[in-house]
Structure formats: C-alpha cells, structure tokens
C-alpha cells in the first residue's frame, strides 16, 4: 500500500503485490518444490512421479494416484499445470486411500488436452475440468499446449466449482444427481472427505504452485 497526496488529501493506494498477497491469505503450500514429502503414491505406473525444477512431473509412461497424506473435506485447491499434446491426467477429490478407481470411489475432475486430434470424439463429460461421467465442463478456456494454466477447485459440501484461467467452467451440486444408475456407479458422490491427488494415465503432465485453503460451510 502507498499514500499519495492529491490536492492536499492523502489517498491510499493498494498496489498489485498487496492484492496478490491478500488473495492468497490462508493458503498453505502442499509441495516444497524439492521432494514429494506429504504425498503418497498408490497404483504406480512406470516411474510414478518425479520432482524436477520445482515441479511435480508425471513423465511419459508414468503415473498412478499421487495423493496427499492428509485428508480434506471442504477447501479451495489451487495449482498450475502444463500439458503436452495428448496429455491425460485427473484430479482426485475426497479419495479414500486404497481406492480401486477414484473416478467412481471418489470424484475425478478431468485434466486433459482438449485440442488433441485423438480426443476429438470425447464425450462432453470427458473434457478438461469435467466431473468425470457426471457433469460436463465448459470448454474454450484452456491455454495452448505447452503453456501454464492456472486452476482453482472449490469444494464445499455437495457443491463443486472449477475456475480455469479466471473463467468458471464448472459449478455443480451433486445433490442434483438423481439418475439411479449414476448414483449406483458413483458411490464417491456421497463422500464428505478424503485425500486430494493427481491421477496419472501414462501421459506427461507438469504441476507447480500447489496450495490449499481449508474452508467451512
């Protein structure tokens, strides 16, 4: 903040750095930039995940479920991700440790290169930011392959919101799901807490600036 005198009156100016600090108030980093301390890997694929240049990296042929050791209920989760052509991963929400398939035993939000030719026939609920097999996200807000994307996921009770590069692409309530087949296939819709993590599918993806703020309803 700075003071500026205009016509004998002091005016308080809020500079961008102060606004940025305020916007991050209450967030805690989940990645120290050097190790995978605080995370645990299950269902490892190939080399799993590595740490390179301050990033968590899912290398080509790697992956598995990289989950926070701590469980969370309601929160705002912020991170940045960068894809290569055809990359496919996922963000697991309220995942039970040892889950057979987080997309059904918990919630999976898609992390995927929508522009890839091989994915031209994806169903709407398979595109980036979508609540897998349940709710489709809006498209058109992902940056070109090779650029960093900023994403925030807000989960409070039964409500899920995904904000990608400043645009809300998903804003849904699982209480609105009434189809008995979907409810039967997705017991994870009823979970109220669990681990958060990246669900790798053998494709290269990079993550950084991973932080969380626990929230109350």
Number of domains in the chain: 1
Q: Tell me if 93 sits within 8 A of 155, measured CB to CB.
A: yes
What pLDDT score was predicted for residue 213? 98
What pLDDT score was predicted for residue 13? 52
Task: Fill in the DSSP letter of residue 202.
Answer: S
Residue 23 lies in a domain: no
Q: Which domain holds residue 67?
A: 28-214
Which is nearest to 93 in space by CA: 25, 28, 26, 152?
152
Place 17 in a pLDDT band, splitting at 50, 70 and 90: low
What pLDDT score was predicted for residue 16? 52
What pLDDT score was predicted for residue 5? 45
What pLDDT score was predicted for residue 102? 97
Q: Which two tokens stand for residue 52?
A: 């390179």
Place 216 in a pLDDT band, splitting at 50, 70 and 90: confident
The predicted model gives 107-123 an average pLDDT of: 95
* Widest distance between CA atoms in the chain: 69
Q: φ and ψ at 123, to 5 degrees? A: -75, 155
Residue 105 lies in a domain: yes
Place 22 in a pLDDT band, splitting at 50, 70 and 90: confident
Q: How far apart are CA 208 and CA 210, in angstroms?
A: 5
Residue 145 lies in a domain: yes
Place 8 in a pLDDT band, splitting at 50, 70 and 90: low
Residue 171 lies in a domain: yes
Which is nearest to 191 in space by CA: 213, 158, 152?
158
Residues, the chain = 217
The β-bridge partners of 148 are 82
CATH number at residue 176: 2.60.120.560
pLDDT in tens, 120-174: 999 999 999 999 999 999 999 999 999 999 999 999 999 999 999 999 999 999 9
pLDDT in tens, 175-186: 999 999 999 999
Residue 12 lies in a domain: no
pLDDT in tens, 39-96: 999 999 999 999 999 999 999 999 999 999 999 999 999 999 999 999 999 999 999 9
Q: Tell me if 93 sits within 8 A of 73, measured CB to CB.
A: no
Residue 13 lies in a domain: no
Residue 167 lies in a domain: yes
Residue 20 lies in a domain: no
């Amino acid at each position: 903040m700075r003071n500026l005198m205009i016509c004998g009156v002091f005016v308080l100016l809020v500079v961008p750095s102060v606004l940025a600090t305020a916007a991050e108030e209450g967030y805690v980093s989940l990645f120290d930039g050097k190790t995978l301390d605080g995370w645990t890997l299950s269902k490892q694929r190939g080399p799993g995940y590595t740490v390179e240049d301050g990033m968590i990296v899912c290398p080509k042929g790697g992956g598995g479920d990289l989950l926070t050791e701590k469980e969370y209920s309601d929160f705002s989760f912020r991170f940045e991700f960068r894809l290569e052509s055809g990359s496919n991963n996922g963000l697991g929400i309220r995942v039970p440790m040892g889950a057979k398939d987080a997309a059904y035993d918990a919630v999976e939000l898609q992390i995927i290169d929508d522009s890839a030719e091989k994915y031209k026939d994806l169903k709407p609920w398979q595109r980036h930011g979508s609540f897998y097999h349940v709710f489709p996200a809006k498209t058109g807000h992902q940056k070109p392959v090779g650029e960093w994307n900023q994403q925030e996921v807000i989960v409070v009770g039964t409500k899920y919101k995904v904000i990608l590069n400043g645009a809300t692409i998903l804003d849904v309530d699982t209480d609105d799901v009434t189809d008995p087949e979907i409810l039967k296939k997705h017991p994870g819709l009823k979970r109220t807490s669990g681990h958060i993590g990246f669900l790798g599918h053998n494709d290269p993806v990079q993550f950084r600036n991973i932080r969380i703020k626990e929230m109350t309803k």
